[in-house]
Structure 1
Amino acid sequence: MTTARASIPRYDAANANRFGPCMIEHRTAGTGLSQLGTYFMIYDTDGHSEPWTLHYEETVYVIEGQVRLITVENDTDRELTGDPGDLIVLPKGTTVRYGAAVGTRLLLSISPVDWRERVDGLT
């Protein structure tokens, strides 16, 4: 078994992708972490992402700005608004639309990071 080395991962444009109204960067990609993934999300436009159902557990920490997540619970939309310093917890199976004020910066952590490998039929 290979052990991951302690590191300070830096920004890598190869790990950044557009996700609806924001850019999301998988900061811990390539670090050897097998369970935990950490991402930075920065909003540069208004609006919300398309609905996404989580195949993992997720936390969202608001670094700057204001996040406005919409979750679907029993066919009803529920808005969760978070300000700097707030932590939002999204259990596995939550359906969410990510949105925030322009300039908002978030730190997301998910587990397990290798969820795609664990879910048959998803790419």
Structure 2
Amino acid sequence: MSDQPVKLAPFNPEFTAQNGPIDVERRSLPHGLSELSAGIVRFPSGGSSEPWTLPYEEAFYVIEGQLSLHVGDETVVVPAGEVVTLEKGCTVVYEGEPGTSAFFSLVPANWLETAES
């Protein structure tokens, strides 16, 4: 355990990325977590992502707006205040109405390094 086991994870533009219409704030990335990754996704103008096959397990808590997840022929609509989970290996299209924001968490935190090796 580090000498600071509890750390605030404020916004840091260095750890922000875009995925189509989605702004992704990777809040836990610079804080040394080895198992869990977490952050905020925002759809400032709304829209849909390209299909993505998850190399990790993921969960969302919708803070504001409405998140729609398209998996095959199924669409799951997640209103503000609700939680949704996604299994590793599913192919999903993320869609948010303008102004949608959600907290996400995923495991494992090092999925990108694992996928590249």
TM-score (norm 2): 0.92
* Higher helix proportion: 2
1:39 counterpart = 2:1 = no
Let me know the Cα RMSD of the aligned residues.
Answer: 1.4
Partner residue, 1:84: 80
After superposing on structure 2, the runs of 4+ consecutive aligned residues of structure 1 that deviate more than 4 Å are none
Count of residue pairs brought into register by the alignment:
116
Residue 70 of structure 1 aligns with which residue? 70
**TM-score w.r.t. length of structure 1:** 0.88
Q: Which runs of 5+ in 2 are unaligned?
A: none
Q: State the distance in 1 between where 2:104 and 2:20 align.
A: 16
Provide the secondary structure at the position in 1 that maps to 2:112.
helix
Identity fraction in percent: 34
Shift in Å at residue 85 of structure 1?
1.2
Matches for 1:40-55 after TM superposition, within 5 Å: 40-55=40-55
Greater strand share, structure number: 2
Q: Is the 8 A contact 2:46 2:100 kept in 1?
A: no
Residue type matched to 1:12 in 2? N
Please report how far the alpha carbon of residue 9 of structure 1 lies from its aligned counterpart in structure 2 after TM superposition: 1.1
- Structure 1 gap segments, 5+ residues each: none
Q: Following the alignment from structure 2 to structure 1, what is the Cα–Cα distance between the partners of residues 10 and 112?
A: 24
Q: Which residue of 2 aligns with 1:114?
A: 110
